[in-house]
Amino acid sequence: MDFSFTKKEERFRLELRNWLEENLPTSWPKEEEAYISFLKNWQRTLAEGGWAGITWPEKYGGRNATLMQEIIYHQEMVRADAPPSINYVGIHMVGPTLMQIGTEEQKERFIKKLLTGEEIWCQGYSEPNAGSDLSAIKTSALKDGDRWLINGQKVWTSYGHIADRCFLLARTSQVPGKKHKGITVFLLDMNQPGVEVRPIVQLDGRQEFNEVYLTDAVCSDADIVGEVDKGWQVMISLMLHERAGIGAEVFTLEKQFNNLVAMTKEYKVDGKSLIEDANIRQKMADLYARSRGAILNYYRNLTNTLKNGQPGPESSIDKLLVSELTKEMLEFAVSIQGPHGILWKEDAPINSRWQEKYLYSYGTTIGGGTSEIQRNTIGERVLGLPKDLRA
Amino acid sequence: MDFSFTKKEERFRLELRNWLEENLPTSWPKEEEAYISFLKNWQRTLAEGGWAGITWPEKYGGRNATLMQEIIYHQEMVRADAPPSINYVGIHMVGPTLMQIGTEEQKERFIKKLLTGEEIWCQGYSEPNAGSDLSAIKTSALKDGDRWLINGQKVWTSYGHIADRCFLLARTSQVPGKKHKGITVFLLDMNQPGVEVRPIVQLDGRQEFNEVYLTDAVCSDADIVGEVDKGWQVMISLMLHERAGIGAEVFTLEKQFNNLVAMTKEYKVDGKSLIEDANIRQKMADLYARSRGAILNYYRNLTNTLKNGQPGPESSIDKLLVSELTKEMLEFAVSIQGPHGILWKEDAPINSRWQEKYLYSYGTTIGGGTSEIQRNTIGERVLGLPKDLRA
Amino acid sequence: MMDFSLNEEQEMFRNYVRKCLNEAGQTMVAREFTCGNTSEFIKLQKKLAELGCTGITISEEYGGLGLGALDLVPVLEEFGRAVLPGAYLETMAFVVPLLEKYGTREQKETYLPEIAAGTRSFSIAWVEPNKSYDPDVIECQAVTKGSSLVINGVKTLVPDGNQVESLLLIVRTDEGGNGDGLSLVLIDVNEVTDMKTLSSMDETRNVTEITLENVEVPMARVIGEVNQGWNVLKEGLLYLHAATSSMLVGSMDHIVEMSSEYAKIREQFGQPIGRFQAIKHRIVDMKLDLETARSLSHYANWALDTNQQDKEAAIYSARTFATEANIRLASHNIQNHGGIGFTMEMDCHLFLKRARFYENYMGSISQFREDVSKGLGWSYEKPRFQLTSK
Amino acid sequence: MMDFSLNEEQEMFRNYVRKCLNEAGQTMVAREFTCGNTSEFIKLQKKLAELGCTGITISEEYGGLGLGALDLVPVLEEFGRAVLPGAYLETMAFVVPLLEKYGTREQKETYLPEIAAGTRSFSIAWVEPNKSYDPDVIECQAVTKGSSLVINGVKTLVPDGNQVESLLLIVRTDEGGNGDGLSLVLIDVNEVTDMKTLSSMDETRNVTEITLENVEVPMARVIGEVNQGWNVLKEGLLYLHAATSSMLVGSMDHIVEMSSEYAKIREQFGQPIGRFQAIKHRIVDMKLDLETARSLSHYANWALDTNQQDKEAAIYSARTFATEANIRLASHNIQNHGGIGFTMEMDCHLFLKRARFYENYMGSISQFREDVSKGLGWSYEKPRFQLTSK
């Protein structure tokens, strides 16, 4: 057992840290449009510095980073409070998938532009009646001469309102009783008349997700990834590209907890810091144990990934623990602020957006597979328990 | 809304309380055999005093008690710490069922003797592979001339080792796909060669339950309750006789909580009472709220029973809340006794059998329908949620 | 005779109120309110006043119905179901009982008929910036000047200060300790020097902060005895928290309904999701919480009306349980709805934010638990004021 | 290079130990022990000593393997899996590290080789009747008489006092406050005036009470400095609680296995019960608890071995989490098994009772949490000793 990083890894960390010190933007615009161009700029800066797509081969602009370097990358980005990647879907999902199974033409057309953020990608998976059960998608793609006409509705499309392209699942044939078959992956151009995007307002007032309405939207054969009707396998193999898994969330949890400690020291009611309250200390010690546990679990699973070459179903354990704990921790943070904790944004008792983060956290146990789905996965794939009955 | 009892009800309470003061045994034997005859004596005393089967018609030795009087009866029995009824199955289940659908001969043969405790009854429902799913019973009854030969195994038979008779479910025919059909209720004589009883040792070291092995045990047509193959309905209607539901448990919970309060005042560590600890007070206040809630729910359901004439599926709410809360409360009681709380019986830090009660409480969320089954019942019958998939 | 249910009149009144709220679009009123459109709410308030809601606990002599806390219960439950904005709670379940008991003839005549008519409502100005509800940290000061009081200070977290006509203000009139030296003053909102609206997580209730600079009001505005305000306020809190519990129960009732109905119709994997025990059993636990909270709050209000010995324990038990359960339920409700539950489109978020609003409203869970403990005679020490809920 | 797993040697040693325990019938040894039949346990102890289990943390100079806390982990996990009786924990993870660090040459020579050989084991005599673990309530007194100490007092809850050869005794040698004036004395069980075995909920570990009446032992039996015993003991507790966590993890591992396997084969309603989400998801949550406890305890022992700055926080985090999770799991395990889980026949009860044994063992959850808090520098006040866990 050893928790130390190698010298090479530490040099990598230092290089990134130095780069971030010089390149990290100092102020974030609040207004929506300005924020989007800010994020696009940041993506370009990353690409220019060689800090986007670090795990990619050098020929595509990457630096062949190891898994441990990827972990360090996530740690440092969280540590520095770097802006989120506006092209997460492009860089972590579409790029690696195309490199592996894309045509040469697709690689040529898309990879460079997604690295630099010139083209933003979104993901077209969920539909109103296909949430936890993705295989129930109804969006159809019908061959019409040499083009495909796509009709249907997608939902929960992050950055859909600014995306240029969409990694889209559509049904190209019906195989009775086998819903996973007959699905195809298309690379859809979002800038066409058949695509209408409507933002969804989240309960915290923000708009990150969208509904996407497709009415005779057009794709060509050249836009198909892998084979027709075999999109489900493409989607599954794409998930495996996410080697570092929920690294960013894990380190964010760690940081969040440290912020919580700072908050309980700084925030005073009747002149007393919250941490002086023994009840609060007890709960904080419990949260410390559980967040440390979640982080250490992640490291243990990483060790397995390093040894086995690819991540196992244990990543569901990380996802479930981290999302549930994040929610609980933020609830606690707001709760202990007492009556003043109901205040919002600029009037909130302490300026760390605890209230907003709290409300946002309700999405973490739903998005990316609900906690119920994670529990099924763990039960069935880790513990070997019988599968749920399905009709 | 009104929580007061009528004058007539208060007179009834007083009459019982006075009777108990004169007739309640003062010391309980510890040794098993002596304890059984003690319980039998108590049953006879109750019957002689007119305090067994109080809801029965007078012609069977009852006093036609109303539901409210039955409630008062349970309250007073718990209040007085009266011994448990050794013939609970006989008096609350078999007696009323026979009165309603038994033959004249059955009434003649059984009712008086079960009231006085001359004949003790047990219940032959569960089997090793039919616990939560009673309809899966395999014990068979085959007609052989003018007698029935019964073969199979029953389990969780309270007082099976001392019972004279058993209210037994057996399968008399197979109806494919309809497991609830083909079941018949027999009144089995336990004192015959084909019946072997083996005690089950519980995790608290006590032996209350038994396995009953039936090998060509004999019944006659005269021992059948209702019709052949229609035993499921008999069992369901029998449940409805339990009008007062889990009254005794509810009042025991109330008493247990009061005992807990007394314990936290009396029990001192380092010279300080437990109740002086603010953390303990907080949890006690929470337990108070929840136990009061469970009791008040019971009253609300009673009001419904009084208005509608018969109990609804809400009784599952009472069962679930009371059993779960009893378990939690006893766990807390043992936990707050600190390191000394691990001590047992005569060495336990405070002489109220908290440790034994705690271990025993693990049975309360299993017996009489597990908490999982109660949740299904409430979900499906109270909230109208869809039924579980069953193979 | 024992009968643990609301009576026919109370249930009938509930039906009137529900009909009225349904006609107004149920949660639509709250939704409009959060967008700054208060006209629907104002219209509805008038209708509710016409129904008699604003007169329930006011004695007949002053234009009310002369009824008790239990008669407010169905109304509050319905208001909670609709996440209704406004200071009905503070007016009817705090200021009215205090006016009825401690008000002078003049005070009663001034305020009660207008409250009954629905033309005047009250809020409470208690807590100060960076302060808890501890009486001894109150700094807002009122100094005697002839037959007047001159008030200086800042009060924050005043619920719906911009929606009401009057405030019940807690001020320091003498040096303190153990709650001594405080007085309660009835002032009109237009007497306040400055008022600003704060951003709040729960936009169905406005949160305001008021400043008082040399505000001079007649001595006759003090309710109860001067310097004895804390004891008067604590009595008012019994009414307020009993009523709050009922309002929370109403919200919980709506939440359980939402989750159950959604679980019956939403399908995944070819099944209504209510068939999966993860969902089914969670909704059952929510139902248990709801029924427990309802039983506790009904009893609490009955105990208050009939002045039972255990009323303090009953009220604060109901309050703590309903508060925590309501937060739990509102959270589960979002999870049960999945993605759609995370949007503004569904009502889920309204109930969550409202649940948080009442979490630390006029006290904290740990403080309420000490009140239960005190009510049951477990501890005779002065309960220390706790900063927070957890 | 980062590698968060036990190494090959450690895993190999685990396999030897598991094989040895399997041959002895796993939980059968504990079952026999609870019936008063200790012969199987004694036989097994010999075999384990032959394997080298009793020498792991003892330096090679005294016949041990000279390994660290992390090397004990797989052994302790296996012992926990088998609910093994005996004072291995107290001997190897408390007395040995203290002897190694604070023992005189003479003390080491006397005790360590015999421990390594498996012929001597130790228990801890700390708490007194109706007392907590607070150092300042210790009354058992040792008075100097020439080069001897004369000890008087009563110690209770001595684990397996009747199974060991020696005790580490905490006595008062001076007036105290904040843990001052205490000393640690190594005594032999046969020097004790009286010992009685108390009835315990967990019969896999015997609980004894000892009386000391004018027991005279040489001054050389004091380990560490006289009057400074509390600090020595606190250091020993780091080892003890890190090791306890590992033993609890072992129990949890077995519990999750039991529940999973049963859920796969037990059928109701024509389905293996593991298909029902009420059971399936509960077992998943148990698995999460298990893995979290395992990660925490592995890290805690690593931090101890490598003297990390966060070792105190790491150890007490592991201890609190594993303790509470183990109780939770043992309880769920009974429920998952239904009726059969409520019997003596299944092992479920062994794990539940054992879980309760370690709940308040050598400290309390709330005390441990204050230790975490202190370890992280959140509070600088002396943590008040808490009576109980909750």
How much is the ipTM here?
Answer: 0.95
**CA atoms within 13 Å, Cβ hemisphere of A194:** 15
Structure confidence at residue A247 as a pLDDT band (50, 70, 90): confident
Q: Do B155 and D339 touch (CB under 8 A)?
A: yes
Residue D383: the pLDDT is 44
Chain D CB contacts of B390 under 8 Å are 269-271
Residue from A282, A286, A387, A389 whose CB has the most chain B CBs within 10 Å, to mutate: A389
Say how far apart CA C325 and CA C327 lie, in whole Å: 5
Q: In the B/D pair of chains, how many CB contacts fall below 8 A?
A: 151
**Rounded mean pLDDT of A315-322?**
94
Nearest-neighbour CA in chain C from D276: distance (Å): 7
Superfamily designation of domain C124-227: Butyryl-CoA Dehydrogenase, subunit A, domain 2 (2.40.110.10)
Q: Which residue of D has its CA nearest to C274?
A: D277
B203 to chain A, any CB pair closer than 8 A? The answer is: no
Query: Where is C251: in which H helix or E strand?
Result: helix C229-265
Q: In this structure, is the dihedral angle defined by the CA atoms of residues A14, A15, A16 and A18, taken in order, positive or negative?
A: positive
C360 in Cβ contact with A381 (< 8 Å): no
Residue A245: the pLDDT is 65
Say how far apart CA B335 and CA D388 lie, in whole Å: 7
Give chains near B: 3+ CB pairs under 8 A.
A, C, D
**Domain residue ranges in chain D:** 8-120, 124-227, 230-375
Residue ranges, chain D, pLDDT below 50: 380, 382-390
The radius of gyration computed from the CA coordinates of chain B, to the nearest angstrom, equals 22
Nearest-neighbour CA in chain C from D269: distance (Å): 15
Residues of B annotated catalytic, as ranges: 242
Chain D CB contacts of A1 under 8 Å are 3-7, 70, 298, 302
C312 in Cβ contact with C370 (< 8 Å): no
Q: Do A366 and C366 touch (CB under 8 A)?
A: no
Chain C CB contacts of B300 under 8 Å are 4-5, 291, 294-295, 298
Amino acid present at A336: I
What is the 8-class DSSP label of residue C93? I
Closest-CA residue to D372 (of D302, D296, D305, D306): D296
Closest-CA residue to C273 (of A388, B371, A202, A178): A388
Q: Which domains does chain A have, with CATH numbers?
A: 7-86 (1.10.540.10), 121-229 (2.40.110.10), 246-382 (1.20.140.10)
Residue B132: the pLDDT is 86
A321 in Cβ contact with A289 (< 8 Å): no
Closest-CA residue to C108 (of C167, C186, C56): C186
Residue B242: the pLDDT is 63
* Bridge partners for C267 per DSSP: C272
Q: Do D278 and C277 touch (CB under 8 A)?
A: yes
Other C-beta atoms lying within 10 Å of the C-beta of residue B375: 22
B76 in Cβ contact with B20 (< 8 Å): yes
SS3 state of residue B249: helix
The radius of gyration computed from the CA coordinates of chain C, to the nearest angstrom, equals 21
Chain D CB contacts of C281 under 8 Å are 277-278
**In the numeric block, which tokens belong to residue B165?**
């008779």
Question: What are D360-386's pLDDT values in tens digits?
Answer: 999 999 999 999 999 999 964 544 444
User: SS3 letters for chain D?
Assistant: CCECCCCHHHHHHHHHHHHHHHHCCCCHHHHHHHCCCCHHHHHHHHHHHHHCHHHCCCCHHHCCCCCCHHHHHHHHHHHHHCCCCCCHHHHHHHHHHHHHHHCCHHHHHHHHHHHHHCCCCEEEECCCCCCCCCHHHCCCEEEEECCEEEEEEEEEEEECCCCCCEEEEEEECCCCCCCCCEEEEEEEHHHCCEEEEECECCCCCCEEEEEEEEEEEEHHHEECCCCEHHHHHHHHHHHHHHHHHHHHHHHHHHHHHHHHHHHHHCEECCEEHHHCHHHHHHHHHHHHHHHHHHHHHHHHHHHHHCCCCCHHHHHHHHHHHHHHHHHHHHHHHHHHHHHHHHECCCCHHHHHHHHHHHHCCCCCHHHHHHHHHHHCCCCCCCCCCCCCCC
Q: Which residues contact B207 (CB under 8 A, 6 or more apart)?
A: B161, B199, B200, B201
What is the 8-class DSSP label of residue A314? T
**Rounded mean pLDDT of A277-295?**
95
Structure confidence at residue A241 as a pLDDT band (50, 70, 90): low
C287 to chain B, any CB pair closer than 8 A? The answer is: yes
Closest-CA residue to D236 (of D358, D55, D97): D97
Other C-beta atoms lying within 10 Å of the C-beta of residue A380: 18
Other C-beta atoms lying within 10 Å of the C-beta of residue D370: 25
Say how far apart CA D158 and CA C259 lie, in whole Å: 53
Chain C CB contacts of A131 under 8 Å are 268, 338-339
Report how far apart the first and last C-alpha atoms of chain B are (Å, whole number). Answer: 46
Compute CA distances A387 → A319, A383, B205, B388, C79, whole Å.
20, 11, 37, 14, 44
**Rounded mean pLDDT of C44-68?**
97
A130 phi/psi in degrees, rounded to 5: -135, 85
Residue ranges, chain B, pLDDT below 50: none
Q: Which residue of A has its CA nearest to C341?
A: A203
Residue D387: the pLDDT is 44
**In the numeric block, which tokens belong to residue C364?**
């904290």
Q: Which residues contact B104 (CB under 8 A, 6 or more apart)?
A: none
Is residue C31's pLDDT more than 70?
Answer: yes
B156 in Cβ contact with B163 (< 8 Å): no
Residue A203: the pLDDT is 95
Say how far apart CA D106 and CA D219 lie, in whole Å: 12
**CA atoms within 13 Å, Cβ hemisphere of C154:** 10
Amino acid present at B329: M
Structure confidence at residue A3 as a pLDDT band (50, 70, 90): confident
B391 to chain A, any CB pair closer than 8 A? The answer is: yes
Q: Is the pTM of this model over 0.90?
A: yes
Q: Which residues contact D105 (CB under 8 A, 6 or more apart)?
A: none
Say how far apart CA C314 and CA C250 lie, in whole Å: 18
**In the numeric block, which tokens belong to residue C123?**
């809020």
Helix axes C365-375, C311-337, angle to 10 degrees: 150
Q: Which residues contact A8 (CB under 8 A, 6 or more apart)?
A: none
C275 to chain D, any CB pair closer than 8 A? The answer is: no
Say how far apart CA A291 and CA D3 lie, in whole Å: 20
Say how far apart CA A207 and CA A185 lie, in whole Å: 26
Closest-CA residue to A169 (of A132, A113, A122, A120): A122
Say how far apart CA A247 and CA A219 lie, in whole Å: 34
**CA A90, A95, A101 angle in degrees (round to 5)?**
135
Q: Which residue of A has its CA nearest to B388?
A: A389
Q: Do B376 and C277 touch (CB under 8 A)?
A: yes
Give chains near C: 3+ CB pairs under 8 A.
A, B, D
Is residue C383's pLDDT more than 60?
Answer: no
Q: Do C137 and A270 touch (CB under 8 A)?
A: yes
A391 to chain B, any CB pair closer than 8 A? The answer is: yes
Out of A15, A70, A242, A380, the active site residue is A242
Question: What are A344-380's pLDDT values in tens digits?
Answer: 988 998 877 899 999 999 999 999 899 999 999 999 9
**In the numeric block, which tokens belong to residue C225?**
């005895």
**In the numeric block, which tokens belong to residue D158?**
């001595």
Residue D247: the pLDDT is 98
Which of these CATH numbers, 3.40.50.300, 1.20.58.760, 3.40.50.620, 1.20.140.10, describes D230-375? 1.20.140.10
Is residue A99's pLDDT more than 70?
Answer: yes
Q: Which residues contact C133 (CB under 8 A, 6 or more apart)?
A: A339, C126, C127, C362, C363, C364, C367, C385
Q: In the A/C pair of chains, how many CB contacts fall below 8 A?
A: 150
Considering only CB atoms, C207 lies closest to which of A283, A343, A346, namely: A343
Which of these CATH numbers, 3.60.15.10, 3.40.50.720, 1.10.540.10, 3.40.50.1780, describes D8-120? 1.10.540.10
DSSP A104-154: HHHIIIIIHHHHHTSS-EEEE--BTTBSS-GGG---EEEEETTEEEEEEEE
Q: What is the mean pLDDT of chain D?
A: 95
> Given this chain, do its domains D124-227 and D230-375 carry the same CATH topology?
no
Residue D384: the pLDDT is 45
Closest-CA residue to A77 (of A155, A141, A125, A13): A13
Q: In this structure, is the dihedral angle defined by the CA atoms of residues C242, C243, C244 and C245, taken in order, positive or negative?
A: positive
Q: Do B366 and D335 touch (CB under 8 A)?
A: yes
Residues 33-62 of C with CB under 8 A from A: none
Give chains near D: 3+ CB pairs under 8 A.
A, B, C
Residue B305: the pLDDT is 82
B350 in Cβ contact with B264 (< 8 Å): no
Considering only CB atoms, A389 lies closest to which of B279, B282, B389, namely: B389
Question: What are C176-220's pLDDT values in tens digits?
Answer: 889 999 999 999 999 999 999 999 999 999 999 999 999 999 999
Residues 106-145 of C with CB under 8 A from A: 127, 130-134, 137
Q: Do D278 and C276 touch (CB under 8 A)?
A: no
Q: Do B2 and C2 touch (CB under 8 A)?
A: yes
